[in-house]
Structure 1
């Protein structure tokens, strides 16, 4: 999946310039890869659009980069981004330029498909996800939006591991083959459930006491 994004080359760096860019409706970005790095500015709305797609950060992005009167295009993936811890606003973005002929390593989300597992419907078990994404290596054009796993046949005590997945032709899984992806565990007995609830209640007591005691701050 390819998306397009406008960017322009920015001169200089630092917190002052970053604040100035944000006042202008832009955010600082850096394009890494292919032996060079390039300081850019992009619109936060365009970055949010990428993150909201099903493929998310695995999407290939065609960056149309303007510098004065010159315009170039680079193909990249969104490697990392920073957000404001209070407002959630996107503050900074890192892109990684890719070559369509060279394999890249990216993180791909796991997508659970199928019906409610047998162990949940008939055995009152609980479905647990061990991991939510996988590390893969493949050509940029083969990056999947997600890797699917059908949980329908799972009974109580059953599990699926990385080694059980079929990511598709040309896609190499980099995670440990013995990493558990999903399992259906047995339901808690009434005694164990009561003990857990009792333990949580006891654990909550000191926290409430601490929050109401004078601290002088």
Structure 2
């Protein structure tokens, strides 16, 4: 079937992601199952000048690309069209996985116009936890990504959030993110990214609530017994 390759050329820009694929003629559940048995993934490129392109990519290489954070990013999809090659800038839009084992089943690429803004997601990377003072709290990330709009070649690789100074009971919101010019964050500014939860206090509160509830139950039971005795 020829070489099928996905890789990141190097450097911080999202346009460095390159997907080499081949066209496929067969479609349907049977053909897709056969591709997966061969270690390949069926894919579709939508939004191109022509009809949607049915493609094939290698499972192992694609999973490696996902680990590099390519989901929601701009990639160049390269494949043969007759005797020539086509390279189409596209958003890695959707990855369908098998619910039980997480195996990639299908991939959607969305061709883009480099002069028009698009909406996508950008991952949040939390750093500095090893430098935090141990105050009995536990870091709880509430968001792993945010929604943004920008030109395709301006998509950030990720947003970095330093949590080294986060103290017990404090939180960091989306409003603290500082995107580059041309990038607009669509996730509400007041949404909490990460918090330092007071685990011990929460546990004590739950224990106190449990004890109070137990006392109420015991009181109710004693009252019921007293009523029964009075009725005898």
TM-score > 0.5 by shorter chain: yes
Is residue 83–residue 92 contact of structure 1 (8 Å, CA) maintained in 2?
A: yes
Aligned residue runs from structure 1 range 1-217, under 5 A: 1=14, 2-34=16-48, 36-53=51-68, 55-116=69-130, 118=132, 121-189=133-201, 191-192=204-205
Q: Distance in 2 between matches of 1:34 and 1:21?
A: 24
* 3-state SS in 1 of match to 2:199: coil
Once the 2 structures are TM-superposed, how far is the Cα of residue 123 of structure 1 from its aligned partner?
2.6
Is residue 58–residue 144 contact of structure 1 (8 Å, CA) maintained in 2?
A: no
Q: Distance in 2 between matches of 1:167 and 1:141?
A: 14
Is residue 76–residue 90 contact of structure 2 (8 Å, CA) maintained in 1?
A: yes
Q: Which has the larger radius of gyration?
A: 2
Distance change (3 Å), C-alpha of 1:130 and 1:85: closer
Q: Distance in 2 between matches of 1:145 and 1:196?
A: 45
Cα RMSD, aligned residues only? 2.6
Q: Structure 1: give runs of 5+ residues left out of the alignment.
A: 199-217
Distance change (3 Å), C-alpha of 1:99 and 1:159: same
Q: Distance in 2 between matches of 1:60 and 1:106?
A: 10
Which range is displaced more, 23-32 or 143-152? 23-32
Aligned length: 195
